[in-house]
């Protein structure tokens, strides 16, 4: 976390510093205490370990841990408008959509990216309407039902 403090002090003092790769509440708190202006919940898209927790499963505890001190962004697994609505309902301030944008760009250039963004917007609006919400502020956790047994395995911070 000393590197984050150094970055904020020396390199990003007048720019927002968002720390990506946060998957535990403890790391989110450390990031904020070290000077982060935001945290991005992400397993870096790899899920490199078989059975690794999806970023959206780590999101609620991280949102709860940092409260409204900093924005909490979700990166990973966002492919449809319903994914955006789920992330917002679980407390994300915003989502990353890098992979879909890169795929669209590779397949059809700028026009495909514009189409993707318009499609995501329509899907978000449709999902919100189906859920009976008129604005993003009304997308609350009450809209989400996950894991019928009510539990999600909580990540434990590594002791490396």
What are the tens digits of pLDDT across the range 43-89?
876 556 667 788 999 999 999 999 999 999 999 889 999 999 999 99
Q: Is position 13 annotated as part of the catalytic site?
A: no
On the CB side of 95, CA atoms within 13 Å amount to 28
Measured between alpha carbons, how far is residue 42 from residues 4, 76, 129 in Å?
Answer: 17, 6, 28
> 118-137, pLDDT tens digit by residue?
999 999 999 999 999 999 99
Predicted structure pTM score = 0.85
pLDDT for position 153: 54
Measured between alpha carbons, how far is residue 131 from residues 40, 49, 86, 127, 141 in Å?
Answer: 26, 34, 11, 6, 12
- Of the candidates 7, 12, 37, 44, the residue annotated as catalytic is 44
pLDDT for position 130: 93
pLDDT for position 129: 94
pLDDT for position 145: 74
> Is pLDDT larger for residue 4 or for residue 145?
4
Q: Coil, strand or helix: which one is 50?
A: coil
> 10-49, pLDDT tens digit by residue?
998 889 999 999 999 999 999 999 999 999 999 876 556 6
């Amino acid at each position: 976390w000393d590197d984050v403090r150094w970055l904020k002090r020396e390199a990003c003092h007048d720019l927002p510093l968002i720390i990506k790769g946060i998957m535990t509440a403890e790391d989110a708190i450390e990031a904020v205490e070290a000077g982060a202006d935001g945290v991005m919940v992400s397993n870096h898209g790899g899920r490199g370990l078989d059975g690794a927790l999806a970023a959206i499963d780590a999101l609620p505890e991280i949102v709860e841990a940092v409260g409204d001190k900093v924005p909490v962004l979700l990166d990973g697994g966002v492919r449809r408008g319903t994914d955006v609505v789920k992330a917002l309902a679980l407390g994300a301030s915003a989502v990353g959509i890098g992979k879909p944008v890169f795929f669209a760009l590779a397949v059809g250039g700028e026009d495909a990216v514009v189409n993707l963004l318009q499609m995501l917007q329509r899907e978000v609006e449709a999902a919100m309407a189906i859920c009976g919400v008129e604005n993003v502020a009304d997308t609350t956790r009450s809209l989400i039902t996950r894991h019928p047994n009510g539990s999600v395995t909580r990540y434990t911070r590594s002791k490396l």
